[in-house]
Amino acid sequence: MSKIAAIIGRLLIAIIFVVSGIGKFADPSSTAQMLGSVGLSPALAIPSGLFELIAGLMLAAGFAVRLVAIALFAFVALTPLFFHNRFIDPLQAAMAMKNLAIMGGLMLAFAHSQMWSHYYGMTRQRRGEIAARDAEKRAHDAELRAARAEGVITAAKTERVVVDRNGDGDGYVDSVATRRRQWFDW
């Protein structure tokens, strides 16, 4: 269930970047003007839109989640420094807090993808251990069957000796005197 929740959360965060990237492509002139107003190069409008779109799609698809989460974290961390740095303005403070929340979500995506990677590694290792244990059990069972078969063959080759110790002619089978013929004696 937590895997499904993580996928939904990752999709919701990814939507923010995909929509923002599409918006930058839809109106690159306003994005360039906004970048120029804070002292950044207006030529960054298309590359930043492309970055947001591609990174958002990669995050949504679950491709290279850890790398994308770190890259988007750095991208979002720069946003309050350039655009939402007037914290006395309630709107700018709210936008900065939104960016902090997105950064937190990206760190959770980073951590969760690491956890599942570790989980999958542990699962593969456990499957290997189980397969090795099963192989050992099958080998042990085969050895037991072989030993039982050998015991049956040996028992069939055992000769009971009638011992008449007192010489009166009524002998008995003496288990101590039982002789076993070896396989090569037959």
pLDDT tens figures, 134-181: 888 998 888 888 888 777 666 656 555 555 555 555 555 444 444 444
Supply the pLDDT for residue 97: 85
Burial-class residue 23 by CB neighbours within 10 Å (0-12, 13-18, 19+): middle
Please tell me the total count of domains within the chain: 1
Q: Is residue 161 part of a domain?
A: no
**Is residue 64 pLDDT above 80, yes or no?**
yes
Domain that holds residue 40: 2-114
CA 121/CA 113 separation, integer angstroms: 12
Q: Is residue 124 part of a domain?
A: no
CB 35, CB 44: distance < 8 Å: yes
Residue listed under structure tokens 């042990």 = 140
Report percent pLDDT > 70 for the chain: 76
Q: Is residue 138 part of a domain?
A: no
Q: Is residue 98 part of a domain?
A: yes
